[in-house]
Structures are given as C-alpha cells and as structure tokens.
Amino acid sequence: MTDRYENIVIEGVSPELDCGRYPVKREIGDRLEVWADIFKDGHDVIAAVVKHRRKGGPEWSESPMELRNPGLDLWTGSFDLPRNARFEYTIEAWTDHFETWRREVRAKVEAGQRVELELLEGRELVEDAARRSGEKRLEAALKELDVANYDEALALLLSEPLKELMDCHPDRSASTVYKTLEVVVDRVAARYGAWYEIFPRSQGTAPGRGATFREAEARLPEIAEMGFDVLYMTPIHPIGTAHRKGRNNVLVAAPDDPGSPYAIGSEEGGHKAVHPELGTLEDFRHFVGACREHGMEVALDFAIQCSPDHPLIEEHPEWFRFRPDGTIKYAENPPKKYQDIVNVDWHTEDWKALWQEWLDVVLFWVEQGVKAFRVDNPHTKPLPFWEWLIREVQEEHPEVIFLSEAFTRPRRLEGLAKLGFTQSYTYFTWRNTKWELTEYLTELTRGGPQEYLRPNFFANTHDILPHILQFGGRPAFQMRLVLAATLSPAYGIYNGFELCENTPRGEPGTTVYYQDSEVYEYKVWDWDRPGNIKDYVRRINGIRRQNPALQELTNLTFHHADNVNVLFYSKTSGENTVLVAVNLNPFETHAAHLDLPLDALGIGEDEEYVVEELFSGRVLPGRRGRSFWVRLTPQENVAEIFHVRKAGA
C-alpha cells in the first residue's frame, strides 16, 4: 500500500507518441489541443488543467480543460505555441470539492429541501481554502457568513464571485499528474515550402566544366520567379578521384569526368570544404545571401560517406574498418560493390568522437547560414545517432530543418520521423492511382503519422524519374506537380522537371534513372526549351502562397468524383477553402461529376453559388446543388483548382 493514492484516472491522452518516448511536432503559431479521458469513482466534480512550459523551464503555465463529452469522460484543453522551441506539457486533475458541494446543494434547494447542515459543510470548505491560501477575500467571506442568516449564507456560498475565488485555491493535494510529454515547435517552413533541387555545377552556360557559385547566382531570379522557397543543392564538397564513376554510372571515369558529388572528399578537403571548382567558402556564403535576397533559403545535402580520398581516413583511421589484409572496407550490398565509397565504422570504439565529428560538420554549415539539410540515406546510419545529432543541433539552433531521404520500409521511414527528422521524403513518388493516393494521404493525414511525420512530396529527384513521367510526358508532369503541390504543404521538384525532362537510362519503364544524369557529368541545361511548364509551376506556387489552406497538411478531405481517373479533394483553413480536381490519366480526357462539400462551404442545397477556377480565372455564377461537372483534358487542363463562394458573398 502506498502512502498516497491518486483517485483520478487520466488516460487516452493525445497527442502522445509511443507512450511519450518521442515528441510530437507542431509549428510556430499553432495551438496544441490536448485531449484525455479523465474520470474517477462516484459523482464528484473533476477539475483539470493542461500544464505547459518551455522544455526545462522553471514554471508551468496552466490552461483549463473542459469536459467536452461527459458520456465519454472526454476532456480537452489547449495552449499556444508561440516560439521555435521544445515545449513540455502534461495534465493535472483533481476533485473539485467545492463545485461538487455546490451542485449537490443546488439540486437539494431546487427540490425544496432545507440545507442547514450543508451550509455548515460548505463553510468548512471555504475555511479549508482560506487556511491553505491565506486569501484575505476568503477570510472576509467567512466573516460575512458569521453574521448571515440562512438565505444570505446560501446566496453567498452559491455566489459566482465566491466560486471564482474558490477555483483559484483548490485542494490539489490528492491530484493526479500525468507523465510529461514533449512537443517540438518548428518554424513554419518545416511544414510549408516549395523545394527546388539543383546540382550547382550544372547551373552555368559553359560546356565542359562546372559552373561556379557566382555563375549559378544568375539562375536565382528565374528559380525565385517560379515561386520556390527552398533551393536544395546536392553535395558541394571536393570529389574523390579514386574509383571515380564515369558518365551514366560506368565503372571507369574518363579523365575529364567530374565524378559524383556523393563521393565526398579529396585532398582538397572533406565535408567542411567547398569544391574548388564551385568557388570558395566566401563564394558559398555569398550564394546563400543571394538566395536570401530572392526570398529563398539554401538546403544542403548531408551525406555521411567518404570517397577513399577523404582526409578523414588518414586523420582518423580508427573511424574506418580495415580488412584482415589491411585494405579499407568499401561499401557493399553483396554481391554489389561500391569501391568509390567508404562508410564510416559506426561500431568503432571511438564512436563518441565520430558522432561529434558529424555534429561539427552540421554546425559548421549552420554557421555559414544553412538552416536546412537534406539528409542522404539516414536509414543506413544508426538511428540513435540521428536522434542525438538533431537534438544537439536544435538545442542551439531550433530553426534548423532536417529532411530525411529514407526511401525504405514504412516502420523505418516513420521511425526516423519519430526520432526527430523535421520532414520526410515519402512514397508519394510511387503512388499514382486514385485508390493509392486516397489510401496513402488518408494514412499520412489521419492515420497517426500526422503527429510526427511531415511529408515533403518530391515529384522527382535526381535518382528517381518515375515511370508515369517517362510515359505520360507533359500532362503527367503537370498532373504530378498539382498533386504534390496541393496534397502536401511541402513539396519539391528536381530541376529539369519544369522542362519535362523524361529520358530514362535504358528502355522506358525499366529503370527510374535519368539518361546522362548530371550526377556523373557536367551539364548545361536549356532552361527555356520548348514544351516547358515553367509558367504552370509559377502559377501553382502562386496559388499555394495565396491560399493558406494549401499551406497545411491535415486539413485534407477527399470527396466523391464519379470517375476512377479523377481525384477530387479540398482543403480548408479558416475562411479559405480550395477544391482540387485532377485527371490522373495523362493519356485521356476524363470528365466527372464532383460531389461538392456544400455543408463545409456553408452553402445550402438550394442556395446559389459561384465557382471560380484559379488557373483560368473562369467564373461560373448561378450554380446550385452538390453536383459539379468537370472535363479534364491532357492538353488543356489536367487539373482544376476552385474557389466556391455563396452568391453575393
């Protein structure tokens, strides 16, 4: 038997991730709604609060909870998340003896019963509170009671001012306190932003050599004009020469092949160095500043792997694994061998120093102004390492964003998000049919992951040219762009997408790699080549910026469209509702009757409304009824995006 027992049960708390093992995620400006089942035996009235503070802060703040559903003992309370920081929260509940007393006395009085004894008992509760609190106004109330007659005492004890005073000084000695939970509050860019991926060396105009950062700056106005928020660059570090890969990933490079930027490290430096071909660290900082001037931020690739020429191998041989014959162990996925890549040995006895080294690398770039990292294959490095690294970085720099590139099995993809990654690459790139998209988005927005996994929907990457783009051509690029940009508040494309570049290595449909991938060669793009959809991209990003509804994730609702090729959904934020209809078939025209969510739009079944299509600016007045017909053609309109408003509103 313990010395104290907690009479009140607090359970079913949400949000709570894996018993509080991991924090949930929100963004600045959100309000955290906390829900819980709270109950005890008998008929007593319960009072409860959400307690919250900045993590490790000295004092808890409290927000009252209300019993939202008495039949289900379901309580809720909330508090604001005003800052980019970690917050702690919990719940405290106690028996509200005074309100219990008031409710019983009111019931008796209403039934015409005399309550002399009850008044004495009520007075005792006030005495207790006065003693606990030393509150002068309670003592004054007691003096008033001393000279009050029955009616006066009853009125005073049931009065609202006294209740409010008593509420300030409850007896919480037998309260129940739930375990402490955590919420990471990131900046809004953690949730919302359009990403554009480039190889900086391919942003120039001179063939046969890589562009410099200074040259690449010339591209920024155009990228910004398309409406992108984040410019993500593949690794910018010196590239090894040992076992360098040639064009199209062939084993032996030609003398003038530049090598893959993922073979990081040469005698010119490692993860803290800039490839001399790109310029100096000063040039990089200038580039970051130029991006900022164009309203964009830079995201760097963080790929923990070394070329055999990486300086770290000589400096810290103990961080690498050598084989019985004294050679260094290179990367393998047996029977495949990757001789141009050496992985660090996470099992090294010196692992603490190794972890620290990678933390130093991240902090180094943070100091150069980088606040976003796209992490390459995090699922092949120890998960506890990432949890530690992200916490360490965000401790000092809570604004830093980590995007997990983990195209791996679902539990591991989600696990990386749980342990701290800000955003995640997802399976969107492989989801094409109405059923696949509906299922997957429902899982991401309602199935649990929404508390910790923020999708970043990449329509392509430098490693992934999806089959739908290989076969579907320009309409497919438009269609996938609309899906990525309106289903998820964060999305991205790898450059060339806007040019509808879709030549795969090998026969179409056999690989997802690009022919003549710029991973392995210098490239000069014609950014204005015919058939490009730059204007379409610009308009989509403009619509995203103008419509807050498209800047959120969990506000997605799918609606019925009577054609399996047409996906129809809406997002609402406050007064802003956006409806999107997409033809998922890039080869055929499809029409459908859309089932408009009139209830959610506040429009009666018989009321007149106006539909405005945002791409075309077409306005259709005088509409009535739930059904709205669309015809979506690959040539003209693969998708339509609507505002619907009550006529005259």
The closest of 472, 475, 539, 534 to 504, measured between CA atoms, is 472
> How far apart are CB 387 and its own copies at their closest, in Å?
9
For the question of residue 376 being annotated catalytic, the response is yes
384 lies in the site for its own copies, by CB under 8 A: yes
122, two tokens: 């009520």
Q: Which of 99, 104, 128, 225 binds its own copies (CB under 8 A)?
A: 104
Distance set, CA 400 to CA 115, 290, 322, 362 (Å): 63, 19, 35, 10
Q: How far is CA 579 from CA 447, 557, 623, 629, 647, in A?
A: 22, 10, 16, 13, 17
Selected range binding its own copies among 70-78, 393-401, 555-563, 597-605, rule: CB under 8 A: 70-78
**Judged by CB, which is closer to its own copies: 136, or 323?**
323
Q: Which of 229, 301, 357, 376 is catalytic?
A: 376
Contact flag: residue 12 with its own copies (CB under 8 A): yes
Of 117 and 147, which CB lies nearer to its own copies in the complex structure?
A: 117
- The beta strands (E) that lie in 7-106 are given as 9-14, 24-27, 31-39, 46-54, 61-64, 66-69, 74-80, 86-95
Which H or E run includes 142? helix 136-146
Q: Stretches 116-124, 242-250, 428-436, 605-613: which one binds its own copies (CB under 8 A)? A: 116-124
The binder of its own copies chosen from 172, 272, 285, 379 (CB under 8 A) = 379
Two tokens at 444? 């991401």
**Minimum separation from the CB atom of position 507 to its own copies (A):** 24
Q: Per CB under 8 A, which region of 97-105, 158-166, 277-285, 631-639 contacts its own copies?
A: 97-105
Stretch that binds its own copies, among 52-60, 312-320, 383-391, 533-541 (CB under 8 A): 383-391
Which CB atom, from 256 or from 325, has the smaller least distance to its own copies? 325
Q: Scanning the structure block, which residue is given the tokens 């939202």?
A: 68
Give the separation between CA 111 and CA 103, rounded to whole angstroms: 12
Locate tokens 């799918």: which residue? 558
Q: How would you classify residue 227: left for phi > 0, otherwise alpha for psi between -120 and 50, otherwise beta?
A: left
Instruction: Give the angle 98-99-105 at the CA atoms, nearest 5°.
Output: 90
638, 479 Cβ separation under 8 angstroms: yes
To its own copies, the closest distance from the beta carbon of 131 in angstroms equals 17
AA identity, residue 295: G
Identified binder of its own copies from the candidate list 66, 110, 151, 349, rule CB under 8 A:
110
Q: Which position among 118, 197, 277, 405 bears the catalytic label?
A: 405
Q: Does 251 bind its own copies (CB under 8 A)?
A: no
Exactly one of 134, 207, 255, 324 binds its own copies (CB under 8 A); which one?
A: 324
Q: How far apart are CA 448 and CA 519, in angstroms?
A: 36
Q: Order of strands across the sheet with 66-69?
A: 9-14, 31-39, 74-80, 66-69
Q: Is 121 in the site for its own copies (CB under 8 A)?
A: yes
CA-based torsion, 463, 464, 470, 473: positive or negative: negative
By CB under 8 A, name the one of 169, 244, 371, 381 that touches its own copies.
Answer: 381
Of positions 56, 58, 71, 648, contacts its own copies by CB under 8 A: 71
- Per CB under 8 A, the segment of 11-19, 126-134, 236-244, 469-477 that binds its own copies is 11-19
Regarding 83 and contact with its own copies (CB under 8 A), the answer is no
Shortest CB 43 distance to its own copies, Å: 7
- 349 lies in the binding site for its own copies (CB under 8 A): no
C-beta of 33 vs 332, nearer to its own copies: 332
Size of the site for its own copies (CB under 8 A): 56
482: left (phi over 0), alpha (psi -120 to 50) or beta: alpha
Of the candidates 177, 145, 162, 142, the one whose C-alpha atom is nearest the C-alpha of residue 101 is: 162
Nearer Cβ to its own copies (105/603): 105
Minimum CB distance to its own copies smaller for 92 or for 229? 92
Tokens of 287: 């580039």
Instruction: Tell me if 334 contacts its own copies by CB under 8 A.
Output: yes
Q: Which residues are catalytic?
A: 376, 405
Judged by the rule CB under 8 A, the positions of this chain that interact with its own copies are 1, 5-7, 9, 11-12, 18-21, 37, 39-43, 70-73, 103-105, 107-108, 110-111, 113, 117, 120-121, 124, 323-325, 327, 332-335, 352, 355, 379-385, 388, 409-412, 415
